[in-house]
Amino acid sequence: LRLLDFPSQLVEPLTPSGTAPNQAQLRILKETELKRVKVLGSGAFGTVYKGIWVPEGETVKIPVAIKILNETTGPKANVEFMDEALIMASMDHPHLVRLLGVCLSPTIQLVTQLMPHGCLLDYVHEHKDNIGSQLLLNWCVQIAK
């Protein structure tokens, strides 16, 4: 997006692509491969758990975050949740949380990398007095890439 010079104009895309996300990148996981360990947070649409993913046929235990849509949400929320999954699956950047897979039963679950310090916004709020300008500048550069 590019900011325009006049306040009356908002933003416009630099290159509107209209390209559909690459669904081939979306890995479907079985519920038996996932184990929820503890709640990390919750909101109006769902709950995020710290969990373990043991891919079928393997012995490795991968720490993950499991985002589960509340069962009380309607079909529109399910569609939006899957849209989020498709977009996340098509993203590959060193400074973005990677979607590892999706479990479709009994409720939709997005499985992502587990971030050791949790949500960046929460981390900034909790450590605001100890975060220096150089670190903030580094984060800005990473976000802008």
Could you report the per-residue pLDDT of 75-96, keeping only the tens digit for each? 777 788 788 888 888 888 888 8
Question: Would you say 61 is a known binding-site residue?
Answer: no
Query: Quick one: DSSP state of residue 1?
Result: -
Could you report the per-residue pLDDT of 45-76, keeping only the tens digit for each? 789 999 999 999 999 999 999 999 887 677 77
* Full set of structural domains in the chain with CATH: 21-114 (3.30.200.20), 115-145 (no CATH)
Does the model's pTM come out above 0.75? no
pLDDT-based confidence at residue 2 (cuts at 50, 70, 90): very low
How many residues make up the chain in this entry?
Answer: 145
pLDDT-based confidence at residue 111 (cuts at 50, 70, 90): very high
pLDDT of residue 52: 97
Cis peptide upstream of residue 106 (ω within 30 degrees of 0)? yes
Q: Are 47 and 68 in contact (CB under 8 A)?
A: yes
- The pLDDT of residue 20 is above 60: no
Helices (H), ranges, 17-74? none
Tell me which range, 8-17, 93-102, 128-137, is most confidently predicted by mean pLDDT. Answer: 128-137
